[in-house]
A and B are shown apart, each in its own frame.
Chain A
Amino acid sequence: METRELLKWSAQVKLREKSKQEVRFEHGHRMCAGCGAPTVVKMVLMATEYPVVVSNATGCLEVSTCIQDYTAWKTPWIHTAFENAAATLSGVETMYRALLKKGKMPENVKFIAFGGDGGTYDIGLQSLSGAMERGHDMLYVCYDNGAYMNTGIQRSSATPLGADTTTSPAGSANPAGKLQVRKDLTRIMGAHGIYAAQASPSHWLDLMTKVKKAHQIKGAKFINIIAPCNRGWRTATDNSIELSRLAVETCYWPLYEIEDGKLKVTVVPEEKKPADMFFKPQGRFKHLYSPGNEGMLQRIQAEIDRTWERLLKESEQAC
């Protein structure tokens, strides 16, 4: 689809109308109340106007949506293990091509893998990188909630600097929580020469346009989507969209895309809010507001500023 047509699609699309389309991820699953991940999945599938085959890494989404005799998925769906949603789907997609070649499958079937940040940034990185490099016609969606939430909030390489998790706890010897900055996976995926983007459910049109665009591109695609987890973030159950909006507006979670090696910021907040507005409501950062941790807060703000400035600069250069 041409850019102009995509813009036209974006201009016309109505969330109310979209929500009336056939639901392929049904209610009745067992995700926690207030979890951001099912919203992300619904939005991705709403923007997928094709037959679709889904692969799922082991994780919250997987264990809560397909339990013997029950499935929330009205699409063909496969889960094999934790670290290999991409490799598994690459096999399905290869079989699809083998059968398509023999006239045994229809054209235009889409393939989407869903994995959490643990299954994507950490244990699944090799499998993801391999599948993307091979150029399978598939979209990998990471729903990033910033820790191994399914096993009880352990630190992953997506966990933000300063977060208190069960394996990076803030304590008397280390009052700061996680001491390392998070891995910049979206840019790593962009370095594969594929379409890579970052999105947020708060900015649903931006998210859906990116998914729509990804499906127009033949080959491997990656979209990283923030998905608040009230259990791990220690927040309320009614503000996952509000928090994901704050993540964007503080530039903690910038919205951008990388296409043909060129980076483009897709949403520039009208007013860049201080990081505190995203960090302070979350229990996992509570310790940062105790005396002695001021340096951490400054480091966090500096990291965000540095990353955001760099993105803007690259985005301007690409224009």
Chain B
Amino acid sequence: MGKVVAVTGNEAVANALRQADPDVCSLYPITPQTDIVQRFSSFVANGQVQTELLNAESEHSAMSAAIGAAAGGGRVITATSSQGLALMWEMLHIASGMNLPIIMPLVNRALSAPLNIHGDHSDGMGARDTGWIQLWSENAQEAYDNTIMSFRIGEHTDIRLPIMVCMDGFIVSHSIARMEYLEDDEVKKFIGPYQKVNPLLDLEHPKSFGPLILTDLYHEYKRLQHEIMGRVKNVVLQVSDEFGKLSGRKYGLFESYRLEDAEIALVILNSAAGTSKDVVDELRDKGIKAGLLKPRLFRPFPYVEVGQALKHLKAVCVMDRADSFGGYGPMFMEISSAMYQADGEGRKPKLINKIYGLGGRDYMPHDARKVLLELNEIAKGAPVGAVKEYIGVRE
């Protein structure tokens, strides 16, 4: 039985990393993630883990060193936010291209300019195409659970991929919430020992990592990455199922909240999903059939399953805490793709896109209520106005 505590998201994640006791932690500070690597450094200093700490001089080097360490043949962690992830961008592709299971909490924060340290999803969405697995988390409990599961998922020998565990900067990382820890030995047993695959530090069998591959085989190499990504879904489900048996907490590819008999729904990530669920309940009490879908596995995106879960609805609003300027919000593009491919009787929900909460702008129950009521009108036949619209804007 786990221990119930009141901790911040950062503390919860730092403890998950402590319980995993990785071989190497390569780190660089950045708000709001810093708290994680600070806490982890004290675990090292106090002998609570056997980890070797590497204080890099930038996030680019932190990720480069994480890649070198992971290629070496052991368990590797790092953590970042925002500009840090942006600086790592080049190396993110190299980590996934080399099939290195690096575990990286990403405490979501807005990107400059203008400079802003608060939570939004621009960083994680910007890393969408880097070949990393992404798990998103609503609260400290989910961030903790996802971090523990991420070792099993990323290191799974069917896939061997780097993985980022996302949670909202400040809203979750710095807020104290009730959650439950697993016991250290339970986590150790669940994660298990690190399995080496072609380690660089096998001196008897020298290997070359990172060759030049031109037009003859690059295309095939990338298709292989695509195929490996195709196996992730099953690994996530299998690991989540096993974790559910251990913890009593069930996780799937996404969370469906009052969705089965709903007519309208929000698709929304992370902490704002919690706020929205309260409003769904409130509207249900008034007889409005509202529901919610909260994606968890964003990369690879479970198009078929999401399409199935949403296709019976009359109207859906995809809420994006990031923007693709000149395009729709990044989550909206995924949901549109999922719905276009979804099989059905030709009837598909009307889709709208709201951009909310950039740079940590509060997302309040009245925001969710307003959007759901607009959806309710659309479901009754009202015309869709702007497909994409910013909400919560100070005019």
Residues of A within 8 A of B (CB): 51, 53, 55, 62-63, 66-68, 71, 73-81, 83-84, 87-99, 101-102, 105-106, 109, 126-127, 129-131, 133-134
- The answer to whether A76 and B68 touch across the interface, beta carbons within 8 angstroms, is no
At the interface, yes or no: B345 with Cβ under 8 Å from chain A?
no
Kindly provide the distance from the CB of A286 to the nearest chain B CB, expressed in whole angstroms. 33
- The answer to whether A76 and B201 touch across the interface, beta carbons within 8 angstroms, is yes
Interface centre among B64, B73, B90, B91 (most CB of A within 10 A): B64
- The answer to whether B64 and A91 touch across the interface, beta carbons within 8 angstroms, is yes
- Which residues of A have CB within 8 Å of B94? 80-81
> How far, in angstroms, from A74 to B88 measured CA to CA in the complex?
30
The closest CB in chain B to the CB of A24 belongs to: B206
- Which residues of B have CB within 8 Å of A97? 52
Kindly provide the distance from the CB of B96 to the nearest chain A CB, expressed in whole angstroms. 12
> How far, in angstroms, from A88 to B138 measured CA to CA in the complex?
34
Task: Pick the contact of A73: B24, B54, B71, B208 (CB < 8 A).
Answer: B208
- A sample of 29 cross-chain residue pairs with beta-carbon separation below 8 angstroms, ordered by A number, consists of A66-B208, A67-B211, A67-B214, A74-B206, A76-B201, A77-B206, A80-B94, A81-B94, A84-B91, A90-B61, A91-B66, A91-B69, A91-B71, A91-B72, A92-B69, A92-B71, A92-B201, A94-B52, A95-B23, A95-B24, A95-B52, A95-B68, A95-B73, A95-B76, A95-B201, A99-B73, A127-B64, A129-B57, A134-B55
> How far, in angstroms, from A78 to B67 measured CA to CA in the complex?
10
- The answer to whether B54 and A92 touch across the interface, beta carbons within 8 angstroms, is no
> How far, in angstroms, from A75 to B216 measured CA to CA in the complex?
26
- The answer to whether B57 and A130 touch across the interface, beta carbons within 8 angstroms, is yes
> How far, in angstroms, from A254 to B340 measured CA to CA in the complex?
68
> How far, in angstroms, from A62 to B210 measured CA to CA in the complex?
9
Kindly provide the distance from the CB of B42 to the nearest chain A CB, expressed in whole angstroms. 18
Closest 6 pairs (CB-CB, A-B): A91-B68, A130-B57, A95-B72, A91-B65, A87-B61, A79-B210
Given pairs A67-B211, A84-B64, A99-B74, 16 additional interface contacts (CB within 8 A): A53-B203, A71-B208, A76-B201, A80-B64, A80-B94, A80-B209, A81-B94, A87-B60, A88-B65, A90-B65, A90-B68, A91-B67, A92-B69, A95-B52, A109-B201, A130-B56
- Which residues of B have CB within 8 Å of A67? 211-214
Q: How large is the interface on B (under 10, 10 to 19, 20 to 34, 35 or more residues)?
A: 35 or more
- Which residues of A have CB within 8 Å of B70? 91, 95
- The answer to whether B206 and A88 touch across the interface, beta carbons within 8 angstroms, is no
Kindly provide the distance from the CB of B308 to the nearest chain A CB, expressed in whole angstroms. 40
- Which residues of B have CB within 8 Å of A129? 57
Given contacts A76-B202, A92-B68, contact A87 B56 (CB under 8 A): yes
Task: Pick the contact of A94: B57, B65, B208, B214 (CB < 8 A).
Answer: B65
A-B CB pair tally, cutoff 8 Å: 155
- Which residues of A have CB within 8 Å of B209? 77-80
> How far, in angstroms, from A89 to B209 measured CA to CA in the complex?
12
> How far, in angstroms, from A127 to B90 measured CA to CA in the complex?
14
Residues of B within 8 A of A (CB): 23-24, 26, 50-52, 54-58, 60-61, 64-74, 76, 90-91, 94, 98, 200-203, 206-214, 216-217
Kindly provide the distance from the CB of B341 to the nearest chain A CB, expressed in whole angstroms. 35
Kindly provide the distance from the CB of B185 to the nearest chain A CB, expressed in whole angstroms. 19
The closest CB in chain A to the CB of B209 belongs to: A78
- Which residues of B have CB within 8 Å of A130? 56-58, 61
Given contacts A88-B64, A129-B57, A130-B56, contact A66 B211 (CB under 8 A): yes
Kindly provide the distance from the CB of B213 to the nearest chain A CB, expressed in whole angstroms. 4
- Which residues of A have CB within 8 Å of B23? 95, 98-99
- The answer to whether A98 and B74 touch across the interface, beta carbons within 8 angstroms, is yes
- The answer to whether A94 and B26 touch across the interface, beta carbons within 8 angstroms, is yes
- The answer to whether A71 and B211 touch across the interface, beta carbons within 8 angstroms, is yes
Given contacts A90-B68, A95-B23, contact A68 B57 (CB under 8 A): no
Given contacts A91-B26, A98-B74, contact A84 B60 (CB under 8 A): yes
Interface centre among B52, B208, B214 (most CB of A within 10 A): B208
> How far, in angstroms, from A67 to B215 measured CA to CA in the complex?
12
The closest CB in chain A to the CB of B52 belongs to: A98
- Which residues of B have CB within 8 Å of A126? 57-58, 61
Task: Pick the contact of A80: B24, B50, B58, B68 (CB < 8 A).
Answer: B68
- Which residues of B have CB within 8 Å of A75? 206
Kindly provide the distance from the CB of A88 to the nearest chain B CB, expressed in whole angstroms. 4
- The answer to whether A80 and B210 touch across the interface, beta carbons within 8 angstroms, is yes
- The answer to whether A127 and B211 touch across the interface, beta carbons within 8 angstroms, is no
